[in-house]
A = this chain, B = another copy of it.
Amino acid sequence: MKFIQDPIHGHLRLEDWQIAIIDTPEFQRLRRISQIGFANLVYPGANHTRFEHSLGTMHIARTLVEKMEADNDEKREIVASALLHDIGHAPFSHCSEVILSRYLKIAHEDVERILRRGRIKEVLKELGFKISRIIRHIKGQSECNVVSGDIDADRMDYLVRDSHYTGVAYGVFDISRLLNKISFEGKKMIIEAGGLKAAESLLISRYMMYPTVYFHHVCRIARKMFEKAVEFCIEEGSLKPADLLRMDDYDIVAFLRSHGGYPSEIMERIDSRNLFKRAIYVGIDKINITEVQRINSKRAEVEIAEMAGADEKDVIVDIPPIEEAKEFKAIVRIDNELKSLEEVSSLVRALKLAERDVWRMGVYTKKELVEEVRKAALKFFNIERTPKQRRLDELF
C-alpha cells in the first residue's frame, strides 16, 4: 500500500492492484495529457493532467462504492473503471475530441481500442478484471451510475480540480457533504435530503465553469486552431487519426512544430499566444438557433473567407452544439419519497434553460483580417448589430 499526495483530496491511498494499473505505459501517458487543453493560455495555473484527475475520480468512486451492497469484485470493478475512465483521451483532451469523432467515429469513452491491447490488457487480465464490464461502466451502459451519470465521481472530481488550478472559485462545492449524503438503492446512487443543496451546487458549478473556463473564447479559439492544424495533416495524409490515441501532448506538439507549412505556423501562433481574434461572437438572442445549428461550419468558413477575400485556412467558424434540454437523472430521497432532482429543485429546472444563456457562436480570424471577416460573417449569418443603449434611470 502506498500513498500519493493530491492537492484536492490530500493523501490518496493506492492498493497494489491500483498501482499495477497505474504503472502501465498506457496509464502513465495520461501524465502528459493536459486536463483542459489550452485553458492555460487564459488561466496560467491550469496545467493539470488527466493523470491526477483519474486518481481523484478513483478516490471518489472508492468512497462511494463502500456504501453499495455488492461483492468485493464488483466494487473493485467499478473503482477500476473510475481509474480508467479517461484512458481514451487523445492529446489536449477535449481539444482533439472532434477529430476522433469525425475520423474514427468514437468519443473518448470508447476505450475498446486501448484496453484490449498492449500492457494494460495484460495487467487487467492478470488482475482478473473482465474488460467488457469495465468498458460498459465507462460508457455509461451499466446499471451503476457511479462512473457515469449526472452526478458522478468524474464530475465531482473535475469541477473541484479545474476550479483549484484555474483559481476560479465557482467550481467549489461541498464534495465531502455530498459524498456523505449519497446512499444506494441497488447499484444506483440516491441523494439523501441533506445532500440536496450540495447536489444543486454541483450542477450549478458545472454551469458556471462553462462560460468562464471550458467555453472561454480564448480556449475555444486555441482549440479550433489546433483542430484545424491537425485536420490539415490528416487530410493531406501525414497523420493517421488512430495515431492520436497513442500520442501525448508532447508528441503532437513536436509533430506540428516539425511538420512545416500551415500546421507549424498554427502551432507557433499557439506557442507565442498570437491567436486568431473574434470577428463575431454572438449569443442565442442574435441569431436563429435552429437554422444556425444546421449550418455546416466547413462550408461557412469557405463562403465567409471568399466574401472577405481571405484564405479559407484563416477563417474559423465555431458553432458549438446546443445541448438538448435533457432531464437531469439524479434521484433525491425526501420525506421517504424518491423524487427526481428536477422535480424538487426549481433551480435545477432553471439550469436547463440557463445553458442557452451562455452559448456563444464565434467566427475567428487573423488580427489583420478581423474587419473584413466580420462584415462577411454578419452578412452570412444575417445578424443585425444595433444594440439599443439604455439609460440607468430606465432600469432602477
**Chain B residue with minimal CB distance to A274?**
B23
Please choose the segment from A223-231, A234-242, A333-341 that sits at the chain B interface, where 4 or more of its residues have CB less than 8 A away.
A333-341
Residues of B within 8 A of A340 (CB): 395
7 contacts between A and B (CB under 8 A): A5-B177, A31-B44, A249-B250, A250-B254, A251-B254, A345-B354, A346-B356
A335 to chain B, nearest CB (A): 5
A116 within 8 A of B: no
A166 within 8 A of B: yes
Residues of B within 8 A of A166 (CB): 5, 7
**Chain B residue with minimal CB distance to A345?**
B357
One digit per residue, 1 when the CB lies within 8 angstroms of any chain B CB and 0 when it does not, for chain A 129-156 equals 0000000000000000000000000000
A367 to chain B, nearest CB (A): 12
Number of A interface residues in the complex (CB < 8 A): 91
Residues of B within 8 A of A197 (CB): 170, 208, 211-212
Q: Are A40 and B45 in contact (CB under 8 A)?
A: no
**Chain B residue with minimal CB distance to A186?**
B392
Contact with A347, one of B32, B169, B186, B207 (Cβ below 8 angstroms) = B207
In angstroms, Cα B21 to Cα A337, docked, is 34
Residues of B within 8 A of A389 (CB): 336-338
Q: Are A165 and B7 in contact (CB under 8 A)?
A: yes
Residues of B within 8 A of A201 (CB): 169-170, 208
| A235-263 CB contacts (< 8 Å) to partner B | 249-251, 253-254, 257-258
Please choose the segment from A49-57, A81-89, A96-104, A300-308 that sits at the chain B interface, where 4 or more of its residues have CB less than 8 A away.
A49-57
In angstroms, Cα B392 to Cα A237, docked, is 51
Asked whether A6 and B167 contact (CB < 8 A) given A188-B392, A208-B201, A390-B338, the answer is yes
A271 within 8 A of B: yes
Q: Are B387 and A337 in contact (CB under 8 A)?
A: yes
In angstroms, Cα B7 to Cα A198, docked, is 16
**Chain B residue with minimal CB distance to A4?**
B44
A105 within 8 A of B: no
**Chain B residue with minimal CB distance to A258?**
B254
In angstroms, Cα B201 to Cα A208, docked, is 8
A382 within 8 A of B: no
Asked whether A271 and B173 contact (CB < 8 A) given A166-B5, A331-B395, A336-B389, the answer is no
Residues of B within 8 A of A49 (CB): 40, 44, 47
In angstroms, Cα B388 to Cα A320, docked, is 42
Contact with A188, one of B11, B172, B273, B396 (Cβ below 8 angstroms) = B396
A10 within 8 A of B: yes
Q: Are B170 and A174 in contact (CB under 8 A)?
A: yes
**Chain B residue with minimal CB distance to A22?**
B273
In angstroms, Cα B111 to Cα A147, docked, is 50
